Amino acid sequence: MINEPTKHTNGHQFHEEQGDDHVGSSYETPLRPDAFEKDDDLKIELIAKHFKEIMLILGLDTEDDSLKGTPRRVAKMYVEEIFSGLKPENKPSATLFENKYKYNEMLVEKNITFYSNCEHHFVPIFGKAHVAYISKGHVIGLSKINRIVQYYAKRPQVQERMTVQIANELKEVLQTEDVAVVLDAAHMCVSSRGVQDVNSLTVTSHYCGAFQENEEKKKEFLNYVSLNSNHEI
């Protein structure tokens, strides 16, 4: 059974306007059955066409030198960059290595910067991901943890869902239930529109295995996350 992700705020009351209701149907990104029938070139062509229409409706002069290339730039950005995590073939492959050092304590990778987009208003969510796992005999390269975070960030998202998606992927890849994920993020749908609260942050967490069952393990992880360990190179 999936334990519900915890969500709270960091120092400020959390305000949220996400349509009429903030409802998530599942921890899978909602995709249509025909989501991958069009290739990237066609998607870019169609998005550019429709985005130009949006610009025209807003009253913009799409023949102006500054705006002429905007529809295609936006379309390429959507398909090739900020929503590239929608494509299954972009999912990072993670090679497992034998845990030859027999290191059986938690490994924590924190302050992984990510940029995502709120699926309710299509404006940025950005923040830090903090991840931990305890090896059950295998480890993965540190950069692969970053790539997993980025893969699930690069799609229209809800922070709670993204937290669980990262945790579930790590459990599957590492073949262990002992995984913890915390996301600490700012939402532009809160700061740049609506209540325009520029100071609030949203924190979500998902604990599995030993991190869910052992309060001391959870506290140890959170202590590492809060530890100021910035290093100058």
Q: Is the CB of residue 123 less than 8 Å from the CB of residue 189?
A: yes
In a shared domain, residues 143 and 44? no
Q: CA–CA separation, 83 vs 87, rounded Å?
A: 8
What is this structure's pTM?
0.85
Strand pairing partners for 126? 115, 186
Pairing of strands 106-118, 156-157: parallel
Looking at residue 201, its pLDDT comes to 86
Q: Does a structural domain hold residue 218?
A: yes
Q: Does a structural domain hold residue 16?
A: no
Asked if 165 is an active-site residue, the reply is no
Catalytic site residue from 119, 150, 160, 165: 119
In a shared domain, residues 99 and 178? yes
Q: CA–CA separation, 157 vs 3, rounded Å?
A: 19
In a shared domain, residues 73 and 181? no
Catalytic site residue from 160, 187, 206, 208: 187
Please say which residue of 31, 57, 88 terminates a domain: 88
Amino acid present at 3 = N
Asked if 120 is an active-site residue, the reply is yes
In a shared domain, residues 60 and 106? no
Please say which residue of 22, 56, 88 terminates a domain: 88
Looking at residue 6, its pLDDT comes to 57
Extract the residue ranges of the chain whose pLDDT is less than 50. 1-2, 9-23, 232-233
Catalytic site residue from 130, 159, 169, 206: 159
Q: Output DSSP code: residue 120.
A: T
29-88: per-residue pLDDT in tens? 999 999 999 999 999 999 999 999 999 999 999 999 999 999 999 999 999 999 999 999
Looking at residue 189, its pLDDT comes to 80
In a shared domain, residues 148 and 218? yes
In a shared domain, residues 75 and 177? no
Q: Identify the CA nearest to 6 among candidates 167, 148, 188, 229.
A: 167
Asked if 118 is an active-site residue, the reply is yes
Full 3-state SS string of 139-171: ECCHHHHHHHHHHHHCCEECHHHHHHHHHHHHH
Report H helices in the chain.
40-57, 70-76, 142-153, 159-174, 188-191, 210-213, 215-226
Report H helices in 115-233.
142-153, 159-174, 188-191, 210-213, 215-226
Cα first-last separation, the chain: 43
Catalytic site residue from 15, 18, 120, 138: 120
Q: Does a structural domain hold residue 23?
A: no
Asked if 50 is an active-site residue, the reply is no
Q: Is the CB of residue 180 less than 8 Å from the CB of residue 205?
A: yes
Q: Identify the CA nearest to 133 among candidates 183, 228, 207.
A: 207
Looking at residue 197, its pLDDT comes to 72
In a shared domain, residues 169 and 83? no
Looking at residue 233, its pLDDT comes to 39
- What does the block give as tokens for 121? 């208003």
Domain region containing 63: 40-88
Asked if 189 is an active-site residue, the reply is yes
